[in-house]
Amino acid sequence: MAAAFPPPASPHVYQRHRPETTALYEVVRDNLETLYGAIDDGALAVRIPKHARKELDAYLDCGLLCRGFARLRCEECGESRLVAFSCKGRGFCPSCMGRRMSATAVNLMERVLPQSGLRQWVLRVWSMKLRWTMRPSASRTRAKSR
C-alpha cells in the first residue's frame, strides 16, 4: 500500500523562512558568545574585525519576528501576513546572500548582458613555462591563441 504524502505547497503561497530552525543558526547562537569570550580572554590568538562581529550579530537577528517585522495586507482579499526584517548581510547570512545573488543575476540578464546568445570559453594552460611566456604581453597571447 502506498503511503499518502501531503500535496506539495503551491509556489504562490508565501512561507516564512525560519532561520532559528537551521543547524547553522543553532551553532552560531550557541557558540558565538563563547568564541567572543575566548578571544577577549586571550585563549584564542584570533582577532575578529568589527565588521565581521557586526555581521555575525546581525545574522542572529535576521528573519526573526521578535526582532522586527512589517505587516502586509492584501487590499483585494484582506489577508495579512507578517514579514520579518532581514539583516541584508553581505558575507555570512545564507538567506540574504541568496537574495542578493538572485537580484544580481536578474540585473545581469535584464540590463547588462545583450539579448544575444553568449558563450564562455576557458583556456587552461598546463605548462608553467608557457604560462609565464603568455603572461607579460596581451598582444602575444592573442597571437598564440589563433
> Considering only CA atoms, which of 78, 95, 79 is closest in space to residue 87?
95
> Considering only CA atoms, which of 108, 107, 88 is closest in space to residue 98?
88
For residue 144, pLDDT over 90 is answered with: no
* Element holding 70 (H helix, E strand): strand 69-73
Give Cα 32 distance to the centre of its chain. 20
DSSP assigned state of 42: T
For residue 50, pLDDT over 70 is answered with: yes
For residue 6, pLDDT over 60 is answered with: no
Q: What is the pLDDT of residue 71?
A: 92
Length of the chain: 146
> Each residue of 25-41: pLDDT tens digit?
999 999 999 999 999 89
CB neighbour list of residue 36: distance below 8 Å, 6 or more residues apart: 48, 53
For residue 69, pLDDT over 70 is answered with: yes
Find cell 507578517 and name the residue: 82
Global pTM value: 0.60
Q: What is the mean pLDDT of residues 39-63?
A: 89
Q: Which residue has the higher pLDDT, 90 or 79?
A: 79
CA angle 40, 45, 49 (to 5 degrees): 65
Q: What is the pLDDT of residue 141?
A: 52
Q: What is the mean pLDDT of residues 59-72?
A: 90
CA-CA distance, 2 to 138, in Å (whole number)?
64
